[in-house]
Structure 1
Amino acid sequence: MNTKGNQRFVQTRQKIKGVFLELLREKKIGEITVSEICRRADIHRTTFYGHFDDVYDLMQNMVEEMYVQLMDFFIVDDKVWLPEGFLQLFQFIREHREFFRSYLESYSQQRLSFQVIPTKMEEQLVHLLKEMDFSSKEELYYHQTFFCEGLKAVLKLWISRDCAEEPEEMCRIIEKEYSPNRGFFA
């Protein structure tokens, strides 16, 4: 029986996601149909619906999975690890640029998933507030919102340029913006 968690279920789910990523290289998310995914994945529609409600549910599921993966770039051994995390972030986005292009275009009015403080960061909140010189969780949330919206704009621009700059250059740009002696208010 093909139940959640068994190998066949997991393989089918991965196959659906792989086909979806292939289709995102060819067209926008609004042009992708469940029928097309099923045809390319060689599965029945009922199989697809056993995993996802529709194409947008599939996208949201992949966003949530990628969010967990992205947060692992920034938290190592329960410590926030920003410079190295950004390099991994830009490398990951470059590798999955079609997915992120579609996500940022289709969901541009929605909040990014990573605007919620991740569980790992929440567990380290007292240390994080002190390390980043924030007086409260609310101040951290405002900063995080400001940063995420700016990062979203930078990512959209970078992806629209087909990730022309190297990930290392993008890290330099972000780090320069957050250097204590630079920026608008320095």
Structure 2
Amino acid sequence: MRIFLENEVSRLYETERTCKFNSNDYLRLFRHIKDNQLLYRTYFKLGYDACFQLKHYDTNQAELHFDNRHIEYHIEFFRSGLNAIIKLWLARGCQETPEEMEKIIRSEYLGRITQK
């Protein structure tokens, strides 16, 4: 189940990985979560999120925003924060739309992520 879900999420961003660009498109992820709530709830309940490792990281953005310093800390901060927001959204029954959730993520980064 863990591998299945992680592969599903990876497929959502296949183009970005193969073309080596970061779309910062979290809407796709939030739509997938809303459509697969039980799967995500189970994933988090079993603690699989603690095992997840980011395999692809946008080094261009890391250089632009962080001078390529302390990248491991930035990755962990982002991963943990995003997981916490997703868990809260799931616990509340995904009341907000995926579009609202993406706006929340964007507002937390205050322009650090490229706006569409």
Q: Which has the higher contact order (CA 8 A, sep 6+)?
A: 2
Question: Equivalent residue for 2:55?
Answer: 117
CA 1:117–1:135 in 2, change beyond 3 Å: closer, same or farther?
Answer: farther
- Which is higher, the Rg of structure 1 or of structure 2? 1
C-alpha contact 2:9 2:29 (8 A) present in aligned 1: no
Instruction: Trace 1:46-125 onto structure 2 (pairs within 5 A).
Output: 59-72=1-14, 75=17, 77-82=19-24, 85-107=25-47, 111-113=50-52, 115-118=53-56, 121=57, 125=59
Aligned alpha-carbon RMSD (Å): 2.5
5+ residue gaps in structure 2?
none
Aligned residues: 112
Q: Please, which moves more after superposition, 66-75 or 160-169?
A: 66-75
TM-score of the pair, normalised by structure 2? 0.79
Q: Identity, % of aligned pairs?
A: 29
- Aligned: 1:135 with 2:104: no
The 4+ residue runs of structure 1 with deviation greater than 4 A are 73-76
- Aligned: 1:149 with 2:80: yes
Q: Secondary structure at the match of 1:79?
A: coil
CA 1:168–1:73 in 2, change beyond 3 Å: closer, same or farther?
Answer: farther
What are the Cα deviations for residues 9-29 of structure 1, in whole angstroms up to 9, with x where unaligned?
xxxxxxxxxxxxxxxxxxxxx
